[in-house]
Amino acid sequence: MSFPMDDGRPIFQQIAEKIEDDIVDGTLSEEGQAPSTTHFAQFYGINPATAAKGVNVLVDQGILYKKRGIGMFVAEGARERLVLRRQEQFYEIYIVPLLREAEKLGIDNKQLAVLIQEKGRG
Amino acid sequence: MRVNVNKYSNNNGAGTMSRDQRSTIALETVRLTKTYADQQALDGVSLRLEANRIHGLLGRNGAGKTTLMSIATAQLFATSGEVRIFGQNPYENREALSRVCFIKESQRYPEAFNVNDMLAVASTLYPNWDAAFADRLTEEFRLPRCKKIKGFSRGMLSSVGIIIGLASRAELTLFDEPYLGLDAVARGLFYDRLIEEYAENPRTIVLSTHLIDEVSRLLEEVHVIDGGRLLLHEDTESLRMRAYTVTGPAAKVDAFTAGRRSLRREALGGSAHAALLASSPSEQAEARAAGLETAPLPLQQLIVHLTGHNGTIREGLA
């Protein structure tokens, strides 16, 4: 499907991240049921074993949990834990490349701060 | 070109699925050779397909894929070598062959038959035949049930093969170029039903094709055949992680690719672009440290580079 699966990272990791995204932005609510691995596999056109591996990453982390015979559910407190973790990663993933590009273009930190503030107002 | 497969494990730190129930071998060939009067179709192919996985048998037209599958399903005799299906020799072995369904690309159906006739015959051939599934697929693929197969288009014939292959529920199902002539909607339907069926009833699926992009994410293992030889066998995910490209100033690209497994190099003006197969997990980071841009190389491109016969180095015309 349209999901960019060829970004060079393992597909199962991208699946886990996609589920995390849905939890963080509220598409999947806590105690809500997550789609089955078969649905994930069909939606993204991937092998069901790969989809299961992605889901299992989140089960191992306690983000998702299994209800026998029913399916996979989002754990209570999952959203907060994911948001905290992503805040920790924010600097590495977004700020570092931003600063690198700004340096390449001769934009200093002051100008950068102004740009961010302007954008925030607009 | 012979590629030494030097795998490295994906150090992803995540729990791997238990493969306990998946460790039997569905199909094994040992030094399989097939010689026609003027041509060596297979040249010592030894491969093992693990049961309950989706395998890709990839290679160009004429690489030997169909010959390999025909011998594996006892429809053709090997010149030498051995074949085993679930541990048994398939020749004149009704028990072993009842567990196999081979959908040939060039399959001829009796001209007077219609879809109903074909499904009736198939139901007697495959012990696990699921008639309800076949009916549902026939409707979804919008095949006319009573029209003679003689008038079928290439795409309709492909649909017949897909329906029989899926509904056979055969433990080992081989599809040879299953989607020739199918439009995007019908191909999507095939992938959907294949995933659903495989998730509910795990079985061994072999997709033999030269059109790789759409199915690459479905495959757990790839076996690349070229010129009658097995060129490469690897877990798809590990191969995806190893195949990459570097782009940058030509001198830097050349310095980096020297002594590494470079599959192709193209130059445009002062910059160059090369496709590589990494032999260590840190290789791509090394390329970036050397001032080169890296990008993943899609499986389709990798196979094209591996099985291209015009040399591995080609200068751009610019």
The per-residue pLDDT of chain B, averaged, comes to 88
CA–CA distance from B50 to each of B90, B203, B223 (Å)?
Answer: 17, 10, 12
Helix, strand or coil, per DSSP, at residue A37: helix
pLDDT at B311 over 50: no
Mean pLDDT for the stretch of residues B249-259: 93
Most A CBs within 10 A among B140, B187, B195, hence the mutation to make, goes to: B195
Report pLDDT digits (tens) over B53-68.
999 999 998 899 999 9
Instruction: Yes or no: say if B173 and B204 are a contact pair by the CB < 8 Å rule.
Output: yes
Cβ neighbours, 10 Å, residue B297:
23
More confident site: B2 or B282: B282
If pLDDT is split at 50, 70 and 90, which confidence band does B38 have? confident
Cα dist. A65→A17, A21, A39, A56 in Å? Answer: 16, 17, 17, 9
Local confidence band at B271 (pLDDT 50, 70, 90 cut-offs): very high
Interatomic CA distance for residues B49 and B225, integer angstroms: 14
Query: What is the CB neighbour count within 10 angstroms for residue B13?
Result: 7
User: What is the value of ipTM here, to two decimals?
Assistant: 0.74
Pick the residue with more confidence: B318 or B177? B177
Burial of B16 (0-12, 13-18, 19+ CB in 10 A): exposed
Determine the distance in angstroms separating the CA of A26 from the nearest CA of chain B, rounded to an integer.
25
| Amino acid A10: pLDDT | 86
Mean per-residue pLDDT, B8-32: 61
Task: Encode pLDDT of A66-101 as tens digits.
Answer: 998 889 999 999 999 999 999 999 998 999 999 999
Tokens representing A107?
């934009």
**Kind and range of the H or E element at B125?**
helix B115-125
Q: Judge whether residue B262 has pLDDT over 90.
A: no
What 3-state class would DSSP assign to A105? coil
Cβ–Cβ below 8 Å for B240 and A13? no
Three-class secondary structure of residue B36 per DSSP = strand
Nearest partner of B62 among B180, B208, B228, judged by Cα:
B228
Chain B interface includes A97 (CB < 8 A):
no
Residues of chain B contacting A45 with CB distance shorter than 8 Å? 191, 195, 214, 217-218
Tell me the angle at which helices B184-200 and B131-140 cross, rounded to the nearest 10 degrees: 160
CB pairs under 8 A between A and B: 71
Give the list of residues 6+ apart from residue B114 with CB closer than 8 angstroms, or none.
B144, B145, B146, B147, B148, B149
Model confidence pLDDT, tens digit, residues B95-123: 999 999 999 988 888 889 999 999 999 99
pLDDT at B130: 97
Report the percentage of chain B scoring pLDDT > 70: 90
pTM attached to this predicted model: 0.83
> Residue A5: what pLDDT?
61
